[in-house]
Every structure is written in structure tokens, then in C-alpha cells.
Amino acid sequence: MTISPSDVAVSTDLAFIMRLQHFILSIQHYFDRCQDGDRIKASRNDNVSMSWEFPDLKKHYKRKISTFASDTASSKLYFEALSIQPFNIKLSVAPAVALTNAQAMLEGPDAAAIHAAVRKGDLLIGDDVNGVLGVKIGSKNRTALAVIQGIFKSILVDSLLRLDGASMNLSGIRLNNYIATTMQLKTYVGHHYLSLLKSNVPALLGSLAAFGNPVGLIRGFGDGVS
């Protein structure tokens, strides 16, 4: 068995990540609210209203996973040759841009507020944040000192988060005459790629704009020489 992943190029900005997190949390909040006693109502042609309890998706998912795990826990896989080819991930994080008036009207005030907060550098990290990251919505710089501090904060956050073509090289896996359970194989592959991600941290740090992107500078010189 041979798996050949394609090289991946990911380009994003922090505002998009924050909006994606906001969207996922809103779906989770809706599911939790439905499970707390809300009902989904549907009207039939005879105007009689019917209601059903919203299914507990989390419980259903756990039951499916436990059933699958019990079915595959004792079975073993044999590979005469298992090969996962090396691949590359290029990551670029651009600074967030403000929404135009037309975009703000189309996408709503929440999206515009998130973009404005990210551009100002009003980021929140901690236990009180709803999600992995958070933003402080609607804060105002009312004094000259606050404006100056806000400018430097915005520049600092932008340079610490901006990446330009950070390259992560993930080496492949080659196993011959390999016998293992599904869990053992998953643990081995997961540990392999987790260790590779850790080894690529210096390349990510070297591509930060805060350090002048020395990795990008060296890569640019190499491209020029070639």
C-alpha cells in the first residue's frame, strides 16, 4: 500500500480563523440549546404541529466510535509494504484587512467587528475566552497615549502573526512486513508526524515577519542564484 499526499499551500489571515472559530462555536451553541429542551417543529398540510427532541449527536458519535473500536481492537493488519511518501506544507498568514461597506452589509456586523478588532491587535488569550483565541469587540482608544499604544500593539501583533511561505517538510514512512492493530498503527503514524511538526518549529519562527523572515531571505537568495 502506497499513499502519496500532494503538497499543500495554505494562505489565510487571523480574521478568517477567528470568524471560522465563531461560526463553529455558534453551531455548537445551537446544538447545546436544542438539547437543553428546545424542540424542532414541523408543520404538516393539515396545520397540525409536531415536535421532536433534537438528537444527542455527541452521544451518537461516541457510541459509533466505541462500537468501531471494539470491533477493530483485536483484529490485526498486515502490510507486506506500507509507504507514505514525503510531502510539503507551505503556510502563509497575511495581515487582516478591513471590510468594505458593501462587504460589511453583506456579511453582518459581527464579521466587521472581528476584522476591526484583529487589525487593532485586540486579541484575548486565557480561560475566559470562548474558544482558542478571542478578540475584544468595540474597544475605543480615547486618549492620545491610548492611540499611540494601539498603533504599536497593532504593529506588534501583525509582525508576530505574519508568515510568508513558511515551509514544513514532512518526511515519509516506509514499513516492511508490518503487523499491528489499528490503534498501534494510528499511534505510530501520529507520533511520527507530531515529531516532524515539532522539528519544523524553527522554520516557522524563522519565517515570522517580527524577525525579518530570515528563512525567506535565504530562500530568495537561493532562488536568485539558481
CA distance 185 to 102: 51
Report CA Rg, the chain.
Answer: 24
Average pLDDT over residues 87-106: 85
Amino acid at 75: S
Amino acid at 133: L
Q: What is the pLDDT of residue 210?
A: 59
Q: Does 121 score more than 60 pLDDT? A: yes
Nearest to 15 by CA among 173, 123, 126, 130: 123
Phi and psi (nearest 5°) for 104? -65, -40
Residues 6+ apart with CB under 8 A from 115: 15, 96, 97, 98, 99
Q: What is the pLDDT of residue 7?
A: 93
Q: Give the range among 59-63, 176-180, 182-186 with minimum mean pLDDT.
A: 59-63
Helices 109-120 and 144-161: crossing angle in degrees, nearest 10, is: 90
Of 108 and 39, the structure prediction assigns the larger pLDDT to: 108
Average pLDDT over residues 54-71: 71
Of 158 and 38, the structure prediction assigns the larger pLDDT to: 158
User: Taking the chain, what is the end-to-end CA distance rounded to the nearest angstrom?
Assistant: 36
The reply to whether the predicted model has a pTM over 0.75 is no
The two beta strands, 163-170 and 87-94, are antiparallel
Q: What is the pLDDT of residue 42?
A: 47
Nearest to 22 by CA among 108, 119, 120, 140: 108
Q: Does 175 score more than 80 pLDDT? A: yes
Of 89 and 44, the structure prediction assigns the larger pLDDT to: 89
The cell numbers describing 160, all together, are 508576530
Q: What is the pLDDT of residue 106?
A: 87
Stretch (H or E) spanning 83: strand 76-84
SS3 state of residue 42: strand
